[in-house]
Chain A
């Protein structure tokens, strides 16, 4: 077990390292000659020398990795926030992204699972058909269309909620009521798809479990349908659902680029877009690796959580 986990993590690190190497080399080919800020020339020169800008690419990569390993230093931003560390630039953008996605998950997962259970219990009745059709449409429609819709209806038409997210200075803290209210629209637009996805998943898994033989046995030994469902069917249906929930929670730090753009959320997404537009390559490199890491972490967490949730799934045996 421990051996398997270590093996997976090492493999992940290896892949991460290879991707980092490729992206680093590609970006360094492109990096422009930054014009030196006259007043800050000394600082800038020092920073560049520390990062080995005058050395061959492979050496630069070595310095880059060494800085990360020893000092957790992912380079310096030369454009977006002058001379800030890339880690700081990303870290200060994390709270809104995490908050919005967290709220959205808290809202949509119970709702999705609840509706999914209902649909599975009513399988092939009209309630199920209606729900399945709605869900099919809800899954297909792109999230930004929901964003436009809620922004138009709640923001412009009925003027109930703020159109874009409130700046931190005005709202007075991440957890203030003003902040929460201004986050409602992005939360809503993120939730539609998640609810639909969760519901479809739950319905599929639960209908499969409900038709299995141990359910028949449970009914035969005298349990009512409700008892059998709660005690036996749900437990088993949760086996594939839980890992996907866990992976959603890992994924929340990634956020949604387009939703953040529409509602001007000061999250990680806009940093990425800005770093491209301003050609701030260190930040771009940092955010790229951030996204890569989240992707890798999600898969590994899902794979490992299967083993913890259901001991029948043996580790390492594929």
Chain B
């Protein structure tokens, strides 16, 4: 009798459960299983530098989104008179920072002129104001005097003042050419709000005030009699004039002698008609208050203004928007193309792989700058695409190669694994194998490498616009590279123009690199468990 038959004969009743009454000590796992991405996120959170970098990136993105919405300025807004203004915030200036000041060394005449602006501002009626009133004035341009120095050159001593001068108030007054109706409007506005705008006209080169009394009659701040820039009092001694020193003026012993335009009754005049019939007239306005009249708010630019009078803060937000939109578009498109291309290469292998590899070989050898230039020449110059589109095409043409290469390697690694064979035996289609079984394994690597590519895109875009190969400068559009190029030329006198764009782009690059590195460490499974 063989064994099999014997086993068959065992009746079911003879079987019994071995552990029927035993207590089971191991429990079913009650915690949730930790997925790949959750695990990666957990590891990422441990990396403090990367978390800080991520926060900075989010802050910069928020800046780029919300500044254009909340700002009182627009990208195209500029006032040519308010150029090279220093950073100023109406709120922060109460604490003594962001006052819009710039350090200047003032000569005696220049110093007197600055105080003169303050005095003239207090003297709208032409009745005269004292030196002390000028210094007390809200419109007195000097914020702080750091140091008063005395040099002696060839026996003559001269003073100079190292001061913090407000770039907003130092413009003082200016001449405007307006229609007569506009003049009435300003007058009405001035009475309504109580903000002084219109100031007495200066007697420019008539018989009463010879041209020698003032160096430059186009300068609306030159409202007192001068001799080669030195304040003077005329007709007070035999020589016809007396030179005034700052000390005399300061002590109140002497005052500026105004050269305002007056009628027969000695009343100051606020306008001079320039066209026949009095339709147009020249007025002398306080530049600062005229700005308030025009735009309805005080000028205060948190990052200052550039050489054209654009608000740097909002231009910067615009430039960041461009950089980030470009970077993320490139990221997604490259991600998509690279994945599909690499998956096909890696999965099918053989001749297909060989041909596709040669194509990417050639593409990867074309220097990017040449691609970018050719696209600009081809698409933008001929009007087939906008500058940004052409730049995007250039990035996309070769950008996906890295992703494709990574995907291909990962596919080679995973496609011969047993679980893939098992799935194939169960009848899974090629597409299902690629999408469901192999591709998810490559995701972590690709995401990190793509994110590490973002700073490169931002850098390249800013370099190209700096070099002028792509032109993104306009009233409605700018880029960080363009701002850097504009700022570089005037760096010596106005470093703030280049400071903020350079700072932001450095921050962006550092944060994206740190963030990408953090992600790479988090997604790299070889680190699993090494940190306890």
Considering only CB atoms, which chain B residue lies closest to A19 in the complex?
B366
Question: Does B463 reach chain A (CB closer than 8 Å)?
Answer: yes
Give complex CA distance A197, B210 in Å. 69
Contact flag A19-B514 (CB < 8 Å), given A148-B498, A156-B492, A258-B466: no
Tell whether A43 is near chain B: CB-to-CB under 8 Å.
no
Interface check B361, CB cutoff 8 A: yes
A262: chain B residues at CB < 8 Å are 488
Contact B365 A151 (CB under 8 A): no
Is there contact, CB below 8 Å, between B365 and A295?
yes
| A141 x B506 contact (CB < 8 A) | yes
* Residues A140 and B361 in contact, CB atoms below 8 Å apart: no
Mark out the residues of chain A between 1 and 60 whose CB falls within 8 Å of any chain B CB in the assembled complex: 15-16, 18-19, 22-23, 26-27, 29-30
What's the Cα separation between A16 and B362 when bound, in Å?
Answer: 8
On whether the beta carbons of B513 and A136 are closer than 8 Å, the reply is yes
Q: Does B145 contact A (CB under 8 A)?
A: no
CB neighbours (8 Å) of B517 from chain A are 136
- Chain B: which residue is nearest A29 at the CB level? B378
Interface string of B342-378 (1 = CB under 8 A from A): 0000000000000000000110011101100110011
Contact assessment for B466 and A261 in the assembled complex, using a CB-CB cutoff below 8 Å: yes
Q: Are B378 and A258 in contact (CB under 8 A)?
A: no
The reply on B462 being an interface residue by CB < 8 A is yes
Partner of A136, one of B378, B467, B510: B510
Chain A's nearest CB lies how many Å from the CB of B514? 7
**With A148-B488, A262-B488, A292-B367 known to touch, is A273 a contact of B469 (CB < 8 Å)?**
yes
B510→A15 contact, CB < 8 A: no
Residues of chain B at interface, number, CB under 8 A = 36
Bound complex: CA A277 to CA B469 (Å): 8
B491 contacts chain A at the CB level, 8 A cutoff: yes
Q: Of A140, A145, A151, A258, which one neighbours B455 at CB under 8 angstroms?
A: A140
CA distance A273 to B464 in the complex (A): 10
Contact, CB under 8 Å: A152 / B491: yes
Summarize B's interface: helix, strand, loop or mixed. Answer: helix
User: What B residues does A295 contact at CB under 8 A?
Assistant: 365, 367
Q: Could you tell me the distance in whole angstroms from the C-beta of A259 to the nearest C-beta in chain B?
A: 10
Cα(A301)–Cα(B348), bound, Å: 32
Q: Is A291 an interface residue when CB atoms closer than 8 A count as contact? A: yes
What is the distance, in angstroms, from A303's C-beta to the closest C-beta of chain B? Answer: 13
Q: Mark B466-506, 1 if CB is under 8 A from A, else 0.
A: 11110000000000000010001001100100100010011
| Contact call A142/B374, Cβ cutoff below 8 A | no
Which of A152, A273, A284, A299 has the most chain B CB atoms inside 10 A of its CB? A152
Q: Which residues of A contact B512 (CB under 8 A)?
A: 140
Indicate which residue in B373, B377, B459, B495 contacts A142 across the interface (CB closer than 8 Å).
B459
Q: Say yes or no: A15 contacts B513, CB within 8 Å.
A: no
Cβ-closest chain A residue relative to B377: A30
- Which residues of chain B have C-beta atoms less than 8 A from A273's C-beta? 467-469
Q: Complex: how many Å from CA A136 to CA B512? A: 11
Asked whether A91 is an interface residue with its Cβ less than 8 Å from the other chain, the reply is no
Q: Do A23 and B510 have beta carbons less than 8 Å apart?
A: no
Q: Are B362 and A18 in contact (CB under 8 A)?
A: yes
Chain A residues, Cβ within 8 Å of B513:
136, 139-140
Let me know if B462 and A142 touch, CB within 8 A. Answer: yes
Q: Give the distance in Å from the alpha carbon of A277 to the alpha carbon of B468 in the complex.
A: 9
A296 close to B (CB within 8 Å): yes
- Write the nearest CB–CB distance from B443 to chain A, whole angstroms: 25
Contact A23 B373 (CB under 8 A): no
**Chain A min CB distance to B366 (Å):** 5
Chain B residues near A19 (CB-CB < 8 A): 362, 365-366
Chain A residues, Cβ within 8 Å of B510 = 136-137, 140-141
B246 in the interface (beta carbon within 8 A): no
Is B447's beta carbon under 8 Å from chain A? no
Chain B residues closer than 8 Å to A278, beta-carbon distance: none
A288 within 8 A of B: yes
Cβ contact within 8 Å between B462 and A288: no
Whether a CB of chain A sits under 8 angstroms from the CB of B90 is no
Does B509 sit at the interface, judged by CB under 8 A?
Answer: yes
Closest CB of chain B to A125's CB: distance in Å?
Answer: 18
- A15–B469 CA distance with the chains assembled, in angstroms: 26
| Closest chain A residue, CB of each to CB of B491 | A152
A288, B367: Cα distance in complex, Å = 8
Question: A142, B378: Cβ atoms under 8 Å?
Answer: no
* Residue from B370, B463, B467, B514 within 8 A of A292 (CB atoms): B370
A276 within 8 A of B: yes
- Residues of A with C-beta under 8 A to B362: 15, 18-19
Within residues 219 to 264 of chain A, which ones have a CB less than 8 A from any CB in chain B?
Answer: 257-258, 261-262
A140 to B508, CA, bound (A): 9
Q: How far is the CA of A257 from the CA of B459 in the complex (A)?
A: 13
Bound Cα distance A262, B467 (Å): 9
Given A26-B378, A148-B484, A288-B367, verify A15-B361 contact (CB < 8 Å).
Answer: yes
Chain B 441-459 interface 0/1 with A at a Cβ cutoff of 8 Å (1 = within):
0000000000000010001
Q: Which of A113-158 contact B (CB under 8 A)?
A: 133, 136-137, 139-142, 144-145, 148, 151-152, 155-156
Residues of B within 8 A of A133 (CB): 49
A12 closest partner in B (C-beta):
B365
A141 with B509: in contact, given A148-B498, A258-B466, A273-B467 (CB under 8 Å)? yes
- The reply to whether B370 and A142 form a contact with Cβ atoms under 8 Å apart is no
CB distance from B81 to the nearest CB of A (A): 26
Contact sample, A vs B, 10 pairs, CB 8 Å cutoff: A19-B362, A136-B510, A145-B505, A156-B492, A257-B369, A257-B463, A261-B467, A273-B467, A291-B370, A292-B365
New A-B contacts (14) at CB < 8 Å, excluding given A142-B506, A295-B367, A296-B365:
A23-B370, A29-B378, A133-B49, A140-B513, A144-B463, A145-B506, A148-B484, A148-B502, A151-B491, A258-B463, A258-B467, A276-B469, A288-B367, A291-B369
Closest 9 pairs (CB-CB, A-B):
A140-B510, A156-B492, A140-B513, A140-B509, A291-B367, A141-B506, A288-B370, A145-B502, A258-B463
